[in-house]
Structure 1
């Protein structure tokens, strides 16, 4: 379930090809794992300044992630320049964030009238969205599936509703509001 939600968030966040999204997902997953391991030593005063294999690997992964995200930004910009999308940066959460930053820069936001385009800020926001979203979404889906498995009558209602509203096609954004049973089932834990 964690991999599924991670893949969905990667695609939503970066609007990339499957392979690029998969690469970003694995980099973020590795960063999360290493950060958790390295935090075991935080109780030692000054430990954040000690060199360690975890710190070196985290630094390497951060550099690689930055390169992949910058490539994704460049690719999104090319797609927009070719006219395949109306947004300046393409689609996806990253594109929306970059477009907002550009608007603020054009307006001259900030105390000193300047707006800085900070790549580090963009990457940190992407990490935050990913880390906050994929674990909680995975837990929500796991509990929802567990409850549906223990209450087959609701499982049948949800399945019938999806068949009636969507037919054989995957659900679209327009159809989500019509899936009331599914929505109630998911929102029971939110």
Structure 2
């Protein structure tokens, strides 16, 4: 009964459906634009951010477009998840972290030292080394 309530054509449900369609369209356009730019050689990669990493993984030679594990739909769902779930969480956590580091400069120094020690070369940054940041 509750699941069927989402299909009742109320003003709020219509607004939510229109918003979801618009969000999907904008996300598809952004992904398509990045893939086209990389395909045409305008850019050398999809970018060094989360979306770029996900797009790189689904366009590699070993990627199977029929794979159920990771496909374009999964990329879109992950983007929406990170946007909505992470919006408030990231803001609150970042603010807490910055305030804590401002109150404790010795922690700031330790974090900076450890980050430079682990990352070393920012030209070939590998996100997997972040697990070695025990201080942070």
- The TM tier, using the shorter chain, reads 0.5 to 0.7
In the TM superposition, residue 84 of structure 1 has moved relative to its aligned partner by 4.1
1:40-189 correspondence to structure 2 within 5 Å = 46-87=4-45, 90-91=46-47, 92-102=49-59, 103-105=62-64, 109=67, 118-119=72-73, 121-148=74-101, 151=103, 154-155=104-105, 158=108, 174=122, 184=135, 187=136
Larger relative contact order, structure 1 or 2 (CA cutoff 8 Å, min sep 6): 1
1:115-135: per-residue Cα shift (whole Å, max 9, x none)? 99554x432221112223332
Q: What TM-score comes out, normalization by structure 1 length? A: 0.45
Superposition CA RMSD, Å? 4.2
Which residues of structure 1 form unaligned runs of 5+?
1-41, 163-172, 177-182
SS in 1 for 2:23: helix
TM-score by length of 2: 0.59
Number of aligned positions between the proteins: 120
Residues 157/101 of structure 1: CA separation in 2 closer, same or farther (3 Å cut):
closer
Distance 1:158 1:59, change over 3 A: same
> Gaps spanning 5+ residues in structure 2: where?
113-120, 126-133
Equivalent residue of 2:9, what SS?
A: coil
